A and B are shown apart, each in its own frame.
Chain A
């Protein structure tokens, strides 16, 4: 299934590239109002049409990609940065009170749906992109802790870990030297999945007004703006929606492709 990896990688690359290019160039100024030119359907000048203020939708999507990717990426970073060490630690002390504490803490965070965390955080600090990152990031921690612990636990049963223990290595050293490299595949795959979930979550949060605040453009808020006008100008809702779908689809396909590509069972056959 190399096809998944290629299609997914291409789709992802297109959006990452669009986000990067938007720093130096967009077809129009994404914030420039042009009321006479409002609600234009896609045409030669405005490739994806304009919104109710006459802003160019393509430019807004390009700049919005920046927000989406940044929020999701940092949130995955938070999740990995805290979740992986916690998971490794819990697995190394499997069955002890530390393991118990970490896993119960995980369950607790899991009991709060990510949106509820976001609501709590915005209730305290107010809405904004940074708070959206924290909310999504917190939700990512138990995901990575769990997947790391699960992978690590089965590795701790393997004989090469016993051999390392016989060689007198400490649990911390074994975790870094033997366990972590052997769970990276799992983590990379989960990372792409959480990345795509982060993009969806960011869109949802900014849709209900808890994410990035104006004037920072974001895909979710573009959809919120489009809602009341959906019967007159469906393209306003269609375009950002397609942007979200294609990005998430690309990331998911890439995750699937990576899983197949990195699977050691398949690798043996390939060599």
Chain B
């Protein structure tokens, strides 16, 4: 709660100190001073900054994000339309990344030092080093241009049906997910290896569990705790990463909205989108905290 307030203050004032007046930008260099003043008052730019801040925050709380300076449409509508691209993309990528990383990490940890482990680790080293937008371009080159399995860009919209939408998001999601999957797999492996060295794993073996049984029954859940932290962090990376990936695939998501708004000096849109991103990161971290408690009983009794 406090962090949200501070974040909103930071965002607002950082954006407001930006040079460039949206009104003069919209009217061009030769605008008449009185037209300019009229537009400024219409946009609500003539009141003191503090007052504008409270108007903005008050609006955020009631779901009213204000009106875009350039498009003259409610910001909430613009954001809502774009959300339906960016959020599914980030979630799709998160799911892919987890689905790839868990088996890879577990496989590598259970074969520590063997060829399989070295292979997986080598692949993740490479995965971490690949910039996702470059990887996206290569995916387009191979799967869209050469193989024609997917469209090279654009988004059909969910009106075409769920699967058509998912199909259009598949290449972007893979591009986003793979580098993150590489990081997650490494965390999963090292976390599992730490747990495998714990005393209670030896206790489990002394009970008569095989190495594999001990890993699944006792190792995995304990290894999950650091992995959850990384998944939480990754969500914020994925959201941010989607801003770039949307550029590669010409997806009409929040990222493109932000870039358009910056060049148009549409401050209120920039503020609102950034606020929304920060808000979702904080929410995700809250969910991760809840997940900790589900995994680890020691954290449950403390609250």
A and B touch in the complex (CB under 8 A): yes
In the assembled complex, the CB of A218 is this many whole angstroms from the nearest CB of chain B, namely 12
Least CB separation from A126: chain B residue: B19
The yes or no answer to B15 lying at the interface (CB within 8 A) is yes
Q: For the complex, what is the distance from the CA of A237 to the CA of B136, rounded to whole Å?
A: 11
Q: Judging by beta carbons under 8 Å apart, are A204 and B131 in contact?
A: yes
Q: For the complex, what is the distance from the CA of A240 to the CA of B134, rounded to whole Å?
A: 9
Q: Judging by beta carbons under 8 Å apart, are A116 and B133 in contact?
A: no
Q: Judging by beta carbons under 8 Å apart, are A108 and B6 in contact?
A: yes
Q: Judging by beta carbons under 8 Å apart, are A244 and B125 in contact?
A: no
Tell which of A111, A223, A226, A246 touches B281, judged by Cβ atoms closer than 8 Å: A111
In the assembled complex, the CB of B158 is this many whole angstroms from the nearest CB of chain A, namely 25
The yes or no answer to A120 lying at the interface (CB within 8 A) is yes
Q: Judging by beta carbons under 8 Å apart, are B128 and A252 in contact?
A: yes
Binds B, one of A159-167, A176-184, A227-235, A262-270: A227-235
Least CB separation from B3: chain A residue: A108
In the assembled complex, the CB of A177 is this many whole angstroms from the nearest CB of chain B, namely 31
Tell which of A111, A124, A249 touches B278, judged by Cβ atoms closer than 8 Å: A111
Take A208-B247, A241-B134 as given contacts and tell me if A120 and B15 are in contact as well, using a CB distance cutoff of 8 Å.
yes
Tell which of B140, B240, B259 touches A116, judged by Cβ atoms closer than 8 Å: B240
Q: Report the interface size for chain A: residues with CB under 8 A from the other chain.
A: 38
In the assembled complex, the CB of A201 is this many whole angstroms from the nearest CB of chain B, namely 9
A153 neighbours in B (Cβ, 8 Å) = none
In the assembled complex, the CB of A67 is this many whole angstroms from the nearest CB of chain B, namely 15
* Segment 239-254 of A: residues with Cβ below 8 Å from B: 240-241, 244-246, 248-249, 252-253
Q: Judging by beta carbons under 8 Å apart, are B141 and A203 in contact?
A: no
Q: Judging by beta carbons under 8 Å apart, are A112 and B278 in contact?
A: yes
Which of the listed residues A116, A234, A246 has the most CB atoms from chain B within 10 Å of its own CB? A116
The yes or no answer to B262 lying at the interface (CB within 8 A) is yes
* Segment 1-57 of B: residues with Cβ below 8 Å from A: 2-3, 6-7, 10-11, 14-15, 17-19
* Segment 261-296 of B: residues with Cβ below 8 Å from A: 262, 267, 270, 274, 277-278, 281-282, 285
CB-defined interface of B239-267 with A at 8 Å, one 1/0 digit per residue? 11101100110000000001100100001
In the assembled complex, the CB of A194 is this many whole angstroms from the nearest CB of chain B, namely 13
Q: Judging by beta carbons under 8 Å apart, are A204 and B133 in contact?
A: yes
Q: Judging by beta carbons under 8 Å apart, are B145 and A231 in contact?
A: yes
The yes or no answer to B80 lying at the interface (CB within 8 A) is no
Known interface pairs A119-B243, A204-B133, A208-B244; 12 further A-B residue pairs with C-beta atoms within 8 A, sorted by A's residue number: A108-B10, A111-B3, A113-B239, A120-B11, A124-B15, A207-B133, A208-B243, A208-B247, A230-B145, A237-B137, A244-B134, A245-B129
12 chain-A/chain-B pairs, Cβ below 8 angstroms = A104-B2, A108-B6, A110-B281, A111-B278, A113-B239, A113-B240, A119-B258, A120-B274, A124-B17, A196-B129, A223-B133, A249-B126
**8 closest pairs, A vs B, by CB?**
A113-B240, A248-B129, A124-B18, A115-B240, A249-B129, A241-B134, A113-B236, A111-B281
